[in-house]
Amino acid sequence: MPGTTRIIPLGGLGEVGKNMTVFEADGEVVVVDAGLAFPRDEHLGVDLILPDFSYLTDLERPVRAILLTHGHEDHVGALPYVLRQARVQEVWATKLTLGLVKSKLDEHGLLRSVELREADPEGGQVELGPFRVEFIRVAHSIPDAVAIVLETPGGRILHTGDYKLDHTPVDGLRTDVGRLAELGTRGVDLLLGDSTNAERPGMTGSERLVGEAFRQIIPVLTGRVLVASFASNVHRMQQAIDVAVDVGRKVCVVGRSMRKNINIARNLGYIDVPDEALIRPNELDDYAPGDVLILCTGSQGEPLSALVRIAYGDHPAVKVEAGDTVIISAKPVPGNELRVHDAINQLARCGAEVLHEEIAPVHVSGHGKAEELRTMLGLVRPKSVMPVHGEFRMLAAHARLAREGGVPEDRIVLAENGSVVELADGVPRIVDRIEAGVTFVDGLGVGDVHDVALRDRRHLSEDGVLIIVATLAGSNGGVAGQPELIARGFGEPGEELVVEMREEAHRVLAELLEDDVTEIKLLQEHLHDGLGQLVYDRTGRRPMILPVVVEV
């Protein structure tokens, strides 16, 4: 029946990460994905970046369902935090995605907080209030990825999730082009399409190409072999394991998330490794270097990951040396390039040979390139297109492909996080905007780090801190002795500057006290301003100045 559907991206547009999109009709809400992003260097002390869920927490009714396209962190990583803050009735996901999500929710103590439902990618519709939902299998760099079809009062919507048209996937389960074509025949009013590789011409290579590269590279190596990849890339791990078993190497899995994911995938039948082929990290020294293959986390140069600890000689069980080979089987996520290069340099310093995608065919993307996006547009023949999942340049490139494919200019929606897109009678347009910022996870705190805290941390990291401790001799007295100075992070000031700062602090306090200014807050403000100007004049630095005035 004719009506209206509102589509509100809370994350994933204008960025790579924290994918999350709200669909709203007849007072009911479903959400596709709940992802996170990892901090960049400017996010000092921040562990994770989440979408701002306040739109969901303010709803009168619970969220009808969260639908997950696949098990990558940028699509499911924020789920525990959403469930803690918003009321959600159900979570729908395919078998492997559900297995990964259960483990995550169990760690957060939230396993019983929501009903978990298994989605069938082979067909069949699910009724969720005014929405009828079906799942279509797509190939990606993790098994059990799906596109999601939403029959809504405003029109039929296809959200592709992350996909590529891999004709020879490791598990034989290709993107279901037959059902996509059938969907195109039924008619798609709006396509929300993955834009990650929209700027790149051609087709993305098959996952099997990496397995073939492993078969060429690994058998001729004589030292230890380390393969670093995303912990969720089950097919990549399977192909490395297969080669190791074939050449008689034992397999050691290092890194908490990779061990956990391999166990889940083995239990669910998505990965096959003989028990006798597996060894523990503390058993590595019992085998010759040429007899082991190590699977590890750290392909993004994460500071506490297994590969980085190994590179810096900080891992309790694994070390690399001359003759060893490290294969980094992943592409750096935008913003992680410097960390990855640092890890590569450190591994090379240890004597290891490092192979990565720029010099060897050891990685392929899980996202379709321009030709595959054209194929998707041709299969589905959408009346309107809204590019999603990517930086703005990627969204714009996807929009160009849609125009070239015959989609009218006024039917292409280039939205941003927080845009409110209204789909009525099959026609989308941006009608409003909501607040859609970010939420920082910092240690055990969620959302309690604000811009001012990051500004202060940046200030400390760049210019250091100066603490002045001054003691007043009673309410009617003067300054009790010389103020004490503690300087950190802006270079050890010379004795001359220390003396000058002490004298300036003493002078400022003495003048104020002579004028009967005794309020602690005013004394601290004048100390801050006086010493701040002196330090800047002498050093060109603006350290964070913390005056402490106490009475005795």
The reported pLDDT for the residue numbered 462 is 63
Specify whether 45 is located in the same domain as 154. yes
Examine residue 360 and state whether it is found in any structural domain, yes or no.
no
| Mean pLDDT confidence for 233-253 | 95
Last residue of a domain, one of 384, 411, 446: 446
Specify whether 279 is located in the same domain as 344. yes
Has 389 been annotated as catalytic? Answer: no
Q: Percentage of the chain with pLDDT > 70? A: 91
Specify whether 11 is located in the same domain as 151. yes
Q: Which has the minimum average pLDDT: 257-261, 345-349, 523-527?
A: 523-527
**Of these residues, 43, 70, 367, 398, which one is catalytic?**
367
Higher pLDDT, 329 or 473: 329
| Mean pLDDT confidence for 304-325 | 93
Specify whether 292 is located in the same domain as 161. no
Specify whether 389 is located in the same domain as 527. no
Q: How many domains does the chain have?
A: 3
> What CATH code is carried by the domain that includes residue 345?
3.40.50.10710
- Kindly report, residue by residue over 147-170, the tens digit of the pLDDT: 999 999 999 999 999 999 999 999
Range of the domain at 435: 4-202+365-446
Specify whether 335 is located in the same domain as 391. no
| pLDDT band (50, 70, 90) for residue 444 | very low
Specify whether 429 is located in the same domain as 280. no
The reported pLDDT for the residue numbered 335 is 74
pLDDT of residue 459 exceeding 60, the answer is: no
Higher pLDDT, 192 or 299: 192
Asked whether 237 and 407 are in contact (CB, 8 A), the reply is no
- Kindly report, residue by residue over 7-64, the tens digit of the pLDDT: 999 999 999 889 999 999 999 999 999 999 876 655 555 668 889 888 998 898 999 9
Tell me how far apart the alpha carbons of residues 147 and 191 are, in angstroms, rounded to a whole number.
11
Higher pLDDT, 499 or 98: 98
The reported pLDDT for the residue numbered 524 is 83
The reported pLDDT for the residue numbered 441 is 65
Question: Cα–Cα distances in Å, from 106 out to 96, 111, 268, 441?
Answer: 15, 5, 17, 19
Starting at the edge strand that comes first in sequence, how are the strands of the sheet with 48-51 ordered? 48-51, 438-442, 445-446
Examine residue 459 and state whether it is found in any structural domain, yes or no.
yes
Examine residue 399 and state whether it is found in any structural domain, yes or no.
yes
Last residue of a domain, one of 390, 418, 446: 446
Specify whether 235 is located in the same domain as 167. no
| Mean pLDDT confidence for 117-125 | 91
Specify whether 334 is located in the same domain as 423. no
| pLDDT band (50, 70, 90) for residue 476 | low
| pLDDT band (50, 70, 90) for residue 281 | very high
Say what the pTM is: 0.82
pLDDT of residue 225 exceeding 90, the answer is: yes
Last residue of a domain, one of 399, 420, 446: 446
Higher pLDDT, 477 or 339: 339
Q: Which residue in 121, 134, 135, 80 sits closest to 103, CA to CA?
A: 80
Determine the 3-state secondary structure of 530 from DSSP. helix
pLDDT of residue 552 exceeding 80, the answer is: no
**Of these residues, 194, 324, 442, 463, which one is catalytic?**
194
The reported pLDDT for the residue numbered 260 is 93
Q: Percentage of the chain with pLDDT > 90? A: 66
DSSP 383: S
pLDDT of residue 452 exceeding 60, the answer is: no
Q: Which residue in 384, 465, 367, 370 sits closest to 423, CA to CA?
A: 384
Asked whether 369 and 197 are in contact (CB, 8 A), the reply is yes
Has 194 been annotated as catalytic? Answer: yes
Mean pLDDT of the chain: 89
**Phi and psi (nearest 5°) for 152?**
-130, 165
> What CATH code is carried by the domain that includes residue 397?
3.60.15.10
Q: How many CA atoms lie within 13 A of 18 on its CB side?
A: 26
Asked whether 373 and 405 are in contact (CB, 8 A), the reply is no
pLDDT of residue 406 exceeding 80, the answer is: yes
Specify whether 194 is located in the same domain as 239. no
Specify whether 337 is located in the same domain as 376. no
The reported pLDDT for the residue numbered 550 is 81
- Kindly report, residue by residue over 165-188, the tens digit of the pLDDT: 999 999 999 999 999 999 999 999
Specify whether 195 is located in the same domain as 58. yes
| Mean pLDDT confidence for 190-197 | 97
| Mean pLDDT confidence for 63-80 | 95
